[in-house]
Structure 1
């Protein structure tokens, strides 16, 4: 553990140099989620208490990691691509989805809605989603449901899965492991809230 809880405060410890900083980190009812503390202090690293975390100085020295969106991949949100596969629109955002960057994703989801079919939001390159970003996804989900379509979340990071579970949204969204699984699922599942909602809780 690189975060030490004490009363209502948490101490963040840099995994590189050992520097420590203390502050509040409560945003979700889950003591393991400390990303607000990491952000407020200008640190980088995991949104979870288990780390790794880097102080502002060591953040410049921390080597990048591969695979899923890494702890140090945070940055301005954008759209990596919008792909049309049969009747499904796949939107691939990148960076953090928050209040400052949500407009870009909102525009992409509006385009997907205009296409009229199902939507997959590929979160492979997204690490953090704040309350504003989550609200944006919920509204897009409701819009899809109202027009008889489904919005899938593909490849969510462990943090996003925790947020969905903590906010009790894991039974609302259809969550799949990757875009290919989402495309296959949408191809065989009847459209509309009844058909797709049946798998949401099991896949999240």
Structure 2
């Protein structure tokens, strides 16, 4: 997992990756590739970092190719933890796969989707 603000996308052939960026007014978590048990430690770190920061978190799922129950559980736990901390989880996408999974488990009320191709900074300022 990358914690460096200068980090880039994972190398070709990587099963998945989690990038955590601390911005001025929010935390940005970017998921890449297959989000499954192989990245569970990275997901745990990203969730804990975001919740401990106690501020708005944007989860970018535009580059997710597959998400299993580990990934869905991560989204639900992070959204609930952020809500308990008095803030929220915004999903940057869209990713139909992730959206369907969130809906399927009945967790749509825990998150809010940013509009397609919205400028992240403009959306965060409006929140």
Report if the CA contact (8 A) 1:93-1:105 is conserved.
Answer: no
More helix by share: 2
Q: How far apart, in 2, do the equivalents of 1:182 and 1:143 lie?
A: 22
Q: Corresponding residue for 2:16?
A: 77
Residues 157 and 130 from structure 1, CA distance in 2 versus in 1: closer, same or farther, beyond 3 angstroms? same
C-alpha contact (below 8 Å) 1:77/1:102 kept by paired residues: no
Aligned to 1:113: 51
Structure with larger RCO (C-alpha < 8 A, sep 6+): 2
**Does the 8 A contact of 2:30 with 2:59 survive in 1?**
yes
In the superposition, the TM-score normalised over structure 2's length comes to: 0.75
TM-score, normalised via structure 1 length = 0.50
Match of 2:77 among 131, 136, 139: 139
Q: CA deviation at 1:182?
A: 4.9
Offset at residue 87 of structure 1 (A): 1.6
List gaps (5 residues or longer) in structure 1: 1-72, 190-204
Residue in 2 that maps onto 1:29: none
- Per the alignment, residue 39 of structure 2 pairs with 101
The total of aligned residue pairs comes to 116
Output the CA distance in 2 between the equivalents of 1:182 and 1:166.
Answer: 26
Q: Which residue of 1 aligns with 2:108?
A: 170
Q: Is the 8 A contact 1:74 1:127 kept in 2?
A: no
Instruction: Quote the RMSD (CA, aligned, Å).
Output: 2.4
CA pair 87-188 structure 1, distance change in 2 beyond 3 A? same
Structural mapping, 1:5-20, within 5 Å: none
Q: Gaps (5+ residues) in structure 2? A: 1-11
C-alpha deviations, 1:24-51, integer Å up to 9, x for none?
A: xxxxxxxxxxxxxxxxxxxxxxxxxxxx
2:36–2:67 contact (8 Å) kept in structure 1: yes
Q: Identify if the C-alpha distance between structure 1 residues 171 and 146 changes in structure 2 by more than 3 Å, giving closer, same or farther.
A: closer
SS of corresponding position for 1:138: helix
Pairwise CA distance, 1:126: 0.8
The structure in which a higher percent of residues are strand is 2
Preserved CA contact (<8 Å) 1:82 1:91: yes
Partner Cα distance (2:13, 2:116) in 1 = 21
